[in-house]
A and B are shown apart, each in its own frame.
Chain A
Amino acid sequence: MNQSRTWRRPIALAMLAAVILSVSGCTGGVRASSWTGLTVVDERLYAADLEQVVALNAADGEPRWAFPEDPKKDGRGAFYVTPAVGEGHVIVASYVPGGGFFSQPRNIVWALDVETGNELWHFEDAAGQYVEGGAISGGLFVIGNSDGNIYALDVESGEPRWIFKTGHRVWATPLIVSDIVYIGSMDRYLYALDLSTGEVRWKFHAEGAFAATPALRDDTLYIGAFDDRLYAIDAHTGTERWHFKGENWFWGSPVIYDDTVYATDVSGNVYAVDAESGEQIWHHDLGAPVRAGPALAEDGSKLFVGSQNGTLYALNTADGLVLWLGESEGQVLSTPVVDGSVVYEMLIYGPHRIRALYVDNGREVWVHPPVVEEQK
């Protein structure tokens, strides 16, 4: 009994610490948990597949290369961000958790050869995690980081050309058009930066954080924010043209076809909005949380939206009605990609990482990794 008295407080506190550790993942430091993304360029699909970056034949899913070849051996961290492809490079980022008592997690940008997947350079000066991918243009790779900085790295050498400090985390992929970088920050600003110098051309303030990539049509940028609004902004001056109020945050990037802007909010609402006036054309509630923005079929007839419940919805762009459903195990939290007659989706928490489906009917073309490998 005496023992129970003297031990009860330490035991209870130890339990508290143990539970905190267990609910926190007990991995040491910040947990790396995010969705991954894919890019399709020149009939090849590049994906951040958590343990590896993979290049596959877009037509049949046949692997071309993987980086690192043996993830268990190399231990280069977890690859999340959507690969940026251009100028002969595939550029991704990884998160390497801290491994010891004082060991700090590392956040690394990797530049790989587009043909072989061999490492060309890496950059690990950023203090925070990379959440979304970067963009390549004019010999620069531009990417935002959770440390609040936007980094412009030389594509050939990986040397930083300029660093722009924002007031909060940067979880958005930039849009680069000619010599301007458009990028949103959690500090509630959408910035237009000079590509070569990083100087601010203009900045637009919203009532909520920006985590999406803007879409450009003529001289208007369309982007949603965490204030439940979809904005139309003059691309030259940064002044607001209109805003449309949704039901929840706009996290995914909108797409535009003809005179209509298509956007999703995180509650699972899909909106078609007139690009000129901001008036709603139609609205469809999918009934499941949606993180990413929609993708358009090349002929503009269908809209593809992935959801947390693992379903890829194909909607008719004319009225928002569901044409087909592509159900899967897992969650679809990154934006699907359409290339010709096939739509590609990236999954997390499922047996497969990538699925290719026919645009017309949702029939499966291939999956990665294939079932045979999964059963091994």
Chain B
Amino acid sequence: MFDFIAYPLANLMLLLYNFLGHQTVAALAVLTTLIRLLILPLTLGQQRSARRMQELQPQIEKLQKKYGKDKERLAQEQMKLWKEAGINPMGGCLPLLIQLPIMIGLYQAIMYCVPTTPLQLFQFSQHIYKWLPGVVGLVPLQSTFLGMDLGQPPNIAHWWSYALPLLVFATTWLQQKLLSPPAPSGDQSQTAMMSQQMQIMMPLMFGFIALQYATGLSIYFIISNLIGIAQFYLIQQNRSDKTGKDKKVRRPTRR
């Protein structure tokens, strides 16, 4: 479905695997990082949109208090507020949608490089870029990490592999917690409650996927989430530094 993305990514993973001493997880980590860098403008746009939303929260709350019963008017006023602030309410959604094919392509690439079924491997055999240095004979990549098979789901024989779904759950929850704008305080509306439920449901769903699918996918989820979390803190740090610098610049002027 997304093979036009998966094949180049799988070949890039082969190249990285060759350069990184035949370490599958290292190649996966670097590839995930590269992908996150590639989609950084999209992610930043998404975070910027979320931040602006957060900044408008007090005004939104005021509007809710004022027009709480008049849903239509409330919607109009909110739209007006966003328009004035230059926010597209769907601006945070679009980047996620654009990321979807890349994420799925990356998942498929992992499954081509550490295949669990022969048909996957046979399909990929027709799409290896033989002109890349050192890729001939690499596939399938070494599939064992900490005793686990990266192409197999967690299993009892490797009981510690069940830590991966837990880590997927924890990192997804944390990333989502950080990136989601908080609901207005005291907001008991159905929307707010559903939003809170989804903050648990989504990590649970990804944890469930991690439980059922290859551990290689779990490692990708964890690395990707950790990068997302680190990225959030770096941006926050950067914002704090900028705010601090502005203050420092302003102070002498005041004197």
Contact = CB atoms under 8 A, between A and B. Distances in A.
Overall SS of chain B's interface: helix
Overall SS of chain A's interface: loop
Contact of B149 (A31, A147, A251): A147
B92 A33 contact: no
Interface in A206-239: 206-209, 225-228
B192 A6 contact: yes
The number of chain B residues touching the other chain, given as a range, is 35 or more
A71 to B, nearest CB: 20
Contact of B214 (A28, A30, A33, A209): A30
Given A2-B74, A5-B89, A227-B136, A30 B191 contact: no
A188 B60 CA distance: 63
Contacts of B205: 14, 17
Contacts of A188: 137
Contact of A333 (B122, B191, B209, B214): B122
A29 B90 contact: no
Nearest to B183: A6
Q: Which of A169, A188, A333 has the most CB of B within 10 A?
A: A169
Q: Which of B122, B126, B142 has the most CB of A within 10 A?
A: B122
Interface residues of A, number: 65
Contact of B117 (A8, A129, A291): A129
B125 A248 contact: yes
A10 interface: yes
B118 A34 contact: yes
Nearest to A227: B137
Contact of B116 (A3, A30, A208): A30
Contacts of A1: 75, 78-79, 82, 89
B126 A29 contact: no
A9 B137 contact: no
B118 A208 contact: no
Given A23-B1, A146-B152, 6 more contacts: A2-B64, A2-B75, A2-B78, A6-B183, A8-B96, A146-B151
10 contacts: A13-B176, A15-B100, A23-B104, A29-B212, A30-B117, A34-B117, A129-B116, A168-B140, A266-B122, A289-B122
